[in-house]
Amino acid sequence: MNKSQRAQLVHQRLAELYPDPPVPLNHSNPFTLLVAVLLSAQCTDERVNKVTPALFRRARSAAAMTKIPQPEILELIRSCGLAPQKAKAIAGLSQILVDEHRGKVPADIEALERLPGVGHKTASVVMAQAFGVPAFPVDTHIHRLAQRWGLTNGKNVKQTEADLKKLFPEDSWNDLHLQIIFYGREHCTARRCDGRVCDICRSCYPNRRKPFVAKKP
């Protein structure tokens, strides 16, 4: 089976398992999504969804967030990893959105990447899930699975993103990003599958005899 055939198999299986994948982070608008995705770095989605209700009761917009002192933001998100840095980023990006974008989250990936605490992956998630713009955000989990399935040679997440975009139709990117995440959590975890256990790994490489060790990004 070549790379294109493996990609087709992955696409088909994931579409069958997750025909309408939900966005795992609770949000009500592009701003709350941006903040939730920022908080999810070094933190589980489950934890973020426990933290954000209290935060978003105080502020669901950039303008409202600028009214909350940074120490208060920190207290509201303290149980998330890297909370001090994230509180500073949330306060900073909220002020920039008010000053430079009339309080709105821009539907522009370069503008998003210029915001404090917002890297390429976070910006890509917002573009895909808030604005419906085709994007293929790659985190460490997608990077690991793409290697296991022989869809990339895994030098870094930037290359993995480029390789996946070449393999899959553009109109499938936004769903595939979520589908791979859900599959990785449920079937192809870092510990429970070594590249020979889950259905997709076995289907892509039925003759794999040794555990597959993914390259870290």
Query: Among the options 3, 45, 50, 121, which is catalytic?
Result: 121
On whether the CB atoms of residues 30 and 105 are closer than 8 A, the answer is yes
- How far is the C-alpha of 188 from the C-alpha of 153, rounded, in Å? 18
Quote the radius of gyration of the chain (alpha carbons, Å).
18
- 190 is written with which tokens? 């870092």
Q: Is 42 exposed, middle or buried (0-12, 13-18, 19+ CB in 10 A)?
A: exposed
- How far is the C-alpha of 8 from the C-alpha of 145, rounded, in Å? 15
- How far is the C-alpha of 152 from the C-alpha of 52, rounded, in Å? 35
Specify whether 121 is catalytic. Answer: yes
In the chain, the amino acid numbered 112 is: L
Specify whether 139 is catalytic. Answer: yes
- How far is the C-alpha of 24 from the C-alpha of 46, rounded, in Å? 8
> What dihedral do alpha carbons 139, 145, 150, 155 form, nearest 10°?
40
Query: Among the options 3, 20, 86, 139, which is catalytic?
Result: 139
Catalogue the active-site residues. Answer: 121, 139
